[in-house]
Amino acid sequence: MNIIKCVDKAYEHLNFIELADAPVSALQGVSAKDAELLKKAFQVDTIRDFGKLKFVKWAAAIATLAEQVETEEDKAKETLLDDALEMSFPSSDPISVNSGITRIEVAPEMVNASTDHQNSLAIDPPKKGK
């Protein structure tokens, strides 16, 4: 977040702790008259007081949750998309995804286990010296 876009020019140089203790009128768009009304209505003096105001928290939570809720149109579109994908690639038929592989034409070459196996010593133990 670019703090310069949030506060008046006179407060741009302050750190967050100092800004929290600044008057509400330090916020861009909040006039001195607005700050007086907030103080009268909610006993809000500082940005910190305003941020802790339960009504502000409730409003922010409701606004955030409202953005998360799907409309009926969104749900219908998702259902149609799911149905279309199911018809194209049925989940019960994984073979349809790799239908080009039907059988192995040539058997793989056999690997000599005594020379190319992780446990080759266990398969063909070394002979003890003569």
pLDDT (tens digit per residue) in 79-107: 888 777 776 665 555 555 555 556 656 65
Mean pLDDT of 68-82: 82
Q: What is the pLDDT of residue 104?
A: 56
* Predicted structure pTM score: 0.53
With a pLDDT cut of 70, the percent of the chain lying above it is 64
Which residues have CB under 8 Å from 44's CB, separation 6+?
24, 35, 38, 50, 53
Cβ–Cβ < 8 Å for 123, 115: no
Q: CA 71 to CA 77: how far, in whole Å? A: 10
Q: What is the pLDDT of residue 2?
A: 82
Mean pLDDT of 69-84: 81
Does residue 42 carry a pLDDT above 90? yes
* Class of residue 21 by CB neighbours under 10 A (exposed 0-12, middle 13-18, buried 19+): middle
Q: What is the pLDDT of residue 120?
A: 54
Does residue 72 carry a pLDDT above 70? yes
